[in-house]
């Protein structure tokens, strides 16, 4: 667990200073409470084991130290706000629903994941042979589609980044599912996604 001191300086700017890392055996509220016993204020996300009114870390600390001050993590609050705002915009909300469907369809089975991985491997190998891609430490690493999580806006960014890197490979998998999908529903989903990929809305929001 990382200890970070957050304070406001004389000019009104919020500053953060890393203090130290402490080993904790698990992330239960009681374990975290014991590690935080000497800290005056705490800031963390809104998970039940952290902010819970009865058994959460906040409640356990307040039982022994009623002047401890709790602040909901600003970064986590911002992420929740961004996710909530995007859900209120029909176009953006539909876009991320389609992206979620892409991940579900392409990663629904080991066979499709293997096909995606093989397509990406062949594309990289071809690019290296033709000189279109360079070899260097950290480049051309194997990647896969990442599922977005509502509480982490960064995960949405990672999902879109992985989709752009694997776009040609994803198209191949979707074409495979469109023709050889195990059920009519799967074939229809793949066909609908491919049609959406060709729309102006998809390109604009991506």
Given the DSSP bridges, would you call strands 69-72 and 41-44 parallel, antiparallel or unpaired?
Answer: parallel
In angstroms, the CA 112 to CA 118 distance is: 10
Neighbours of 159 (CB within 10 A): 20
- Per-residue pLDDT reduced to its tens digit, 8-26: 899 999 898 988 888 888 8
**pLDDT, tens digit, 9 for 90 and up, residues 53-85:** 777 777 887 787 777 777 777 777 787 788 888
Long-range contacts of 163-166, Cβ-Cβ distance < 8 Å, separation of 24 or more: 163/99, 163/102, 163/206, 164/206, 166/116, 166/120
pLDDT digits (tens, 9 = 90+) for 125-138: 787 777 776 666 55
Q: What are the tokens at 136?
A: 């260097």
pLDDT at 197: 92
With tokens 């776009």, the residue in question is 167
pTM of the predicted model as reported, rounded to 2 decimal places: 0.59
Q: Which residue has the tokens 């029909």?
A: 90
| Range of lowest pLDDT (6-15, 37-46, 68-77, 196-205) | 37-46
């Amino acid at each position: 667990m990382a200890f970070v001191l957050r304070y406001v300086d004389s000019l009104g700017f919020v500053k953060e200073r890393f203090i130290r890392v402490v080993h904790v055996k698990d992330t239960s509220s009681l374990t975290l409470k014991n590690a935080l016993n000497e800290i005056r204020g705490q800031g963390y996300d809104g998970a039940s084991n952290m902010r819970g009114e009865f058994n959460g870390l906040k409640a356990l600390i307040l039982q022994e130290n009623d002047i401890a001050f709790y602040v909901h993590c600003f970064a986590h609050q911002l992420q929740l706000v961004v996710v909530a705002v995007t859900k209120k915009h029909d176009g953006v909300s539909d876009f991320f629903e389609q992206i979620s469907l892409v991940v579900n369809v392409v990663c629904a089975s080991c066979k499709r994941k293997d096909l995606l991985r093989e397509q990406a491997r062949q594309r990289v190998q071809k690019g290296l042979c033709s000189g279109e891609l360079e070899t260097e430490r950290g480049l051309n690493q194997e990647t896969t589609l990442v599922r977005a999580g509502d509480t982490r806006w960064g995960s949405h960014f990672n999902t879109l980044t992985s989709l752009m890197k694997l776009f040609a490979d994803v198209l191949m998998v979707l074409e495979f599912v469109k023709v050889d999908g195990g059920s009519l529903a799967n074939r229809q989903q793949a066909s609908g996604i491919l049609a959406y990929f060709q729309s102006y809305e998809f390109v604009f929001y991506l």
